[in-house]
Amino acid sequence: MPFGYNGKILVVNLSEGTWTTDEHDETWYRTYWGGGALASWYMHKLIPPGCDPLGPENVLVFATSVLCGAPLSGFSRLTAAAKSPLSGGFGESEAGGYLGPELKHAGFDAVVFTGVSPKPVYLYINKGAVELRDAGKFWGMENAPLHDALKEELGEAKIRVASIGPAGENLVRYACIVNEFIHVNGRCGMGAVMGSKKVKALVCLGDENSVAFADPEAVKELNKWHRKAISEHMPNVNLGKNGTPMHVMTLQNNGMLPTRNWKEGVFEGAEAIGLPGYEKILKGRHTCYKCSVACKRVVNNTSDERYGGPEFETLGAFGSMCGVGVLDDVSKAHERSNALGLDTVSAGGVVAFAMELAEEGIIDTSDVKGFGDGPGMIALLEKIARREGIGDILAEGSALAAKKIGRGAEKFVCAVKGQEPGYHDPRGKTGVGMGFALSPTGADHIEAPHEVAFQGDAVNLVKPIGVLTPPKPLETDIDKVRFFVEGQKTWAMNNTLSICNYVVRPIFAMTYDKLVDTVRAITGWQTSLYELMLAAERSIVLARMFNVREGLGRDDDRLFERMHKPMPSGPLQGRFIDEQAFRTSLDLYYEMMNWDENGVPRRGKLHSLNLGWLAA
């Protein structure tokens, strides 16, 4: 009998309207664990190379892990993965909330959607019973009304729902999947893939006691320890008190708050959208399954408070990036994005890109005005989600839109592998730039912990993963690359285990020792941090190998042009990332990872990670 997981993965053939259950042995689970690694296995096996990400051959995986749903803070992440319609390569996105644990408690460790349904459907998993139900009457609905309608149709108040809005239905390439209004698989256009398959929602209802743990008493004790640690550990205390909006002013004060399509790093409206302004709209806090951190916000300036308040990335996206210093406009843009099913990070980047094109006279200003136009920003989101007018082109993402627009628009694209980045300027922390360049999913701000945190004595936090020297934020040197290699693994470990970055080291409350104890208590496996880091590296290599077979390589590992230009003002005035030095650091990363000069993992590396089946 497995501990911590069900041993069952649901594979749904949408074209046929049928499903089967995959059962894998313990070695398989101990190799792939969950999250992106588990999803990668299915993506490699089931997706033919070169297929259209929005065509029937793509596969959409919802994955939990061997730990997801255990009753501890932050053990709740849900991965959505597929070939990305933004990059044409590996797509993966994590969300917190409740759907991951509910799926697990409903009897499955993952759901794999293949094919395309001939009509709109939703999948309902009720304590092991599976049903594909007609969603024709729900097609076109926004996420909150859909949620209410599903509860009414099923007559179950306790269902958990992950769904797409009109943006996903209309194949907006950065459409997201929303669970419980505020928890979002945002990145990589997973909502568009779901829409292409005509799946409106994944609905789960489970039994919390359905998954057994190897040592339930130890799990209880570890939870008690973790909650106490969270209540005292300063990063967690402050995150609970202030939420991620507090990052606006810290980035502003350090000159790295991306402003007006990455042209600047200081925004005159930062206080209005940051904590000083946010405190005026704050109504309450919200949290994920069993989590005592409670970093989510409830605000008083939206129409439906269930959509929650904007988090830092959204404040950057619709605030500083678009030059909008009116928090009511930013909150409205956030609410509409969650309702329509748009990834706020990409959406903000695309709108900022359009605003700059308007200012440069490249697109018609009757469609979109320049920076600072809050109402115009909100109107543009509606057009994008419904693919109306200029919105139809912008729905392709900034990189593809620029190709369609022409007239020099490509110069203003700030994206990597087709994906717009999160809002941290790498000119102030070059390790974040490495994450933008090297993430298999396209620009990603949570590829590795940000090195600025580990200065001075704080390097002690990363010593357990072998980083003994503080990585200098502004350098692209050997120490930085070494830090990135290990940092990337520690966050890949979280993604593989379905754990939130906000509950575990290197910064947050759960120590690596306690994490290993927890994995042991849940699974009964006599594991170690070494094994968990190997699992993390395996997930990185699986994703890289998916990109290799899709034709992405060294040339795609890069930053956008603006990062190599001097910052015009603020604390980082004059700072830029030297292109050649940065390239050298990426090449050194390949070497440290035992990848070849083209960024392809070597045969020996594949075999050492039990991935020999990927060796040519």
| 496 counts as binding other proteins under rule CB under 8 A | no
Structure tokens at 467: 């980083």
Residue 283 to residue 243: CA distance in whole angstroms: 12
| DSSP run (H or E) holding 100 | helix 99-105
Distances (CA, A) of 613 to 91, 493, 513, 607: 21, 22, 32, 8
98, 423, 512, 546: which one contacts other proteins (CB under 8 A)?
A: 423
Contacting residues for 467 by C-beta, under 8 A, at least 6 apart: 454, 459, 482, 483, 486, 487
Minimal distance in Å, beta carbon 159 to other proteins? Answer: 29
Minimal distance in Å, beta carbon 68 to other proteins? Answer: 19
Structure tokens at 132: 């594909």
**For residues 445 and 575, which CB has a smaller minimum distance to other proteins in the complex?**
445
Structure tokens at 433: 């730039």
Residue 329 to residue 348: CA distance in whole angstroms: 12
Structure tokens at 566: 């001097």
104, 147, 233, 260: which one contacts other proteins (CB under 8 A)?
A: 233
Residues 179-208 that bind other proteins (CB under 8 A): none
234, 526, 597, 616: which one contacts other proteins (CB under 8 A)?
A: 234
Q: Residues 507-546: x/- map of binding to other proteins (CB under 8 A)? A: x---------------------------------------
**For residues 387 and 429, which CB has a smaller minimum distance to other proteins in the complex?**
429
Sole window of 33-41, 145-153, 247-255, 281-289 interacting with other proteins (rule: CB under 8 A): 247-255
**For residues 502 and 590, which CB has a smaller minimum distance to other proteins in the complex?**
502
Residues 430-489 that bind other proteins (CB under 8 A): 445-446, 449-450, 452-453, 455-458, 460-461
Residue 330 to residue 126: CA distance in whole angstroms: 37
| 312 counts as binding other proteins under rule CB under 8 A | yes
**For residues 227 and 602, which CB has a smaller minimum distance to other proteins in the complex?**
227
238, 300, 573, 610: which one contacts other proteins (CB under 8 A)?
A: 238
Residue 53 to residue 171: CA distance in whole angstroms: 11
Residues constituting the chain: 616
Minimal distance in Å, beta carbon 312 to other proteins? Answer: 5
| 244 counts as binding other proteins under rule CB under 8 A | yes
Structure tokens at 607: 């075999």
Using alpha carbons only, how large is the chain's radius of gyration in Å? Answer: 22
**How many CB atoms are closer than 10 A to CB 414?**
24
Structure tokens at 23: 């059962």
Sole window of 73-81, 367-375, 475-483, 501-509 interacting with other proteins (rule: CB under 8 A): 501-509
| 424 counts as binding other proteins under rule CB under 8 A | yes
Strand-pair category, 160-163 with 199-205: antiparallel
Sole window of 93-101, 209-217, 335-343, 420-428 interacting with other proteins (rule: CB under 8 A): 420-428
Contact between 114 and 69 (Cβ < 8 Å): no
**For residues 290 and 450, which CB has a smaller minimum distance to other proteins in the complex?**
450
- Does the N-terminal peptide bond of residue 471 adopt cis geometry, omega within 30 degrees of 0? no
Q: Which residues bind other proteins (CB under 8 A)?
A: 232-235, 237-238, 241-242, 244, 246-247, 250-251, 253-254, 312-313, 422-424, 445-446, 449-450, 452-453, 455-458, 460-461, 501-502, 507
